Amino acid sequence: MPAAEDVNGWVGRLRTHGPKDQPTRHQAILLLWALGRARRQDQRMVRWSLVREELAALLSAYGNPGNQATPEYPFLALYRSGWWELEGTAEEPPPAHGSRASQWLAEHNPLGGLPRDRYELLAGDAEARGAVTGLLLQRFFPAATAGDLAADLLRRVGLCQTREPTGEGWDLAPGDVLRRRTLHERFGGQQQGGIATPSRSKRVLLFEYPEGAAYGYNYDGWQPGGSYHYTGQGTEGDQTFTALNSAVLDSGRELHLFKETADTVLTYLGQFTPDLTEPYRREDAPDRNEEMRSVLVFHLRPVGDVTEPVASTPVAGATGAREIPVEASNVDSFASNPAAGPTRAERREAALIGRYVTWLAEQGQLTVRHLIPLPGRSSSNYTDIFNKHTRELIEAKGTAARSYVRMALGQVLDYARYVEHDRKAVLLPTQPADDLVSLLTSHGIACIYETSAGVFARTDP
């Protein structure tokens, strides 16, 4: 089965026709119709004679003004895009344009539908289905020209169902897809930011965005056991219990969680409530300026039906520290931010580690590093180097500046609690000030430093 990450490429390979601000929608409408069937887990392959009238009605209602409602065109055109299968005839179908297409379909009446692997992914993974839906809307229904029309189409094909309203008129079902603007038009609330509190109801609307990782939102998502972690609002400095963050823990409010699966397009994951035992935890994460800060990570539990949780990694802290290759991960400089990429200091540190590992290897000494799951937390730490020959635990820094040496001291003492070792050391690119060497050795930590390119000396306790 293909991975959910493949969907961008799938939609990107679809050809568009017509003006950029008003592309022809025939293929998108057929695919949205098929996605609705996948969501309901209806039969995958359907006879042309059963599709034709329903598709023609959709094209008439939601196609571009002036375009003919020709259902045979997308039924055959998608076959050549990898998005559509045809069964029931051994004869190669004709081009999608022209009178021969309609005649051929009438003669053969083939079965048509999504390829099995795509159908199974999109039927079972609400987020992948939401991503495809959102990308189709982006490309074929620009919000400025077709926002309301697209919202109505989603309801008609079953991708944004309406059901009997629950408390105060809530009628969305988990897996529904809609634009954020449409959501706020219906239910109110702030139209920007990760948390919205509509004034006319006791709801809190939570939004998870892919770009959140760039602001340190690295903890969000499904967790083992079916809970969902959600980082509070605030992209700079320590997060505090502002009115919006406090609303998440307000027992009198309903929490409704959405995930952006394409630009301005949301998939509704379902209703949640804070965990009764541990409703939130403080975690460390970088802010928008890549400065470390403390964030609020809320622990949410589903209420009723939700989208199927995505399989996740085992609970951090369940297995203890384990060895991994030195080159298996990016440098863990005070807490790296993978979404933003390595900083200059991290790149210097990585280069220093590489030179030292090579120097040790030339002496026949094997090195690894350790992944340390943090007990009771959803995150892990990575050590820099572990010399298996001497059983020395080593923390590296890309500069011998005082603040970095002090930071390395704290880190190696922290990691030493989890990794069995005989010796501890800090690795630096130059010899630091004498008092810093004394600081390290007074704590039983050796100071290793580079004397020339790829050559190292040390001061032991």
Size (the chain), residues: 461
Q: How far apart are CA 185 and CA 195, in angstroms?
A: 16
Average per-residue pLDDT for the chain: 82
* 8-state DSSP, 415: H
Q: Which residue has the higher pLDDT, 276 or 6?
A: 276
Q: How far apart are CA 376 and CA 2, in angstroms?
A: 33
Residue 263: pLDDT band by 50, 70, 90 thresholds?
confident
What is the average pLDDT across 35-55?
Answer: 89
160-306: CATH superfamily: SRA-YDG (2.30.280.10)
* Amino acid at residue number 187: F
What is the average pLDDT across 336-348?
Answer: 57
Q: What is the CATH number of domain 322-459?
A: 3.40.1350.10
The proportion of the chain whose per-residue pLDDT surpasses 90, expressed as a percent, equals 30
Domain spans, the chain: 4-140, 160-306, 322-459
What is the average pLDDT across 132-137?
Answer: 84
* Amino acid at residue number 19: P
pLDDT of residue 143: 60
Q: Phi and psi at residue 349, in whole multiples of 5°?
A: -65, -45
The whole model's pTM is what? Answer: 0.55
Taking 80 as the threshold, does the pLDDT of residue 357 lie above it?
yes
Distance set, CA 265 to CA 7, 173, 209, 324 (Å): 15, 15, 10, 39
pLDDT of residue 318: 35
Residue 344: pLDDT band by 50, 70, 90 thresholds?
low
Q: What is the pLDDT of residues 389-447, one digit of tens each?
A: 999 999 999 999 999 999 999 999 999 998 999 999 999 999 999 999 999 999 999 99
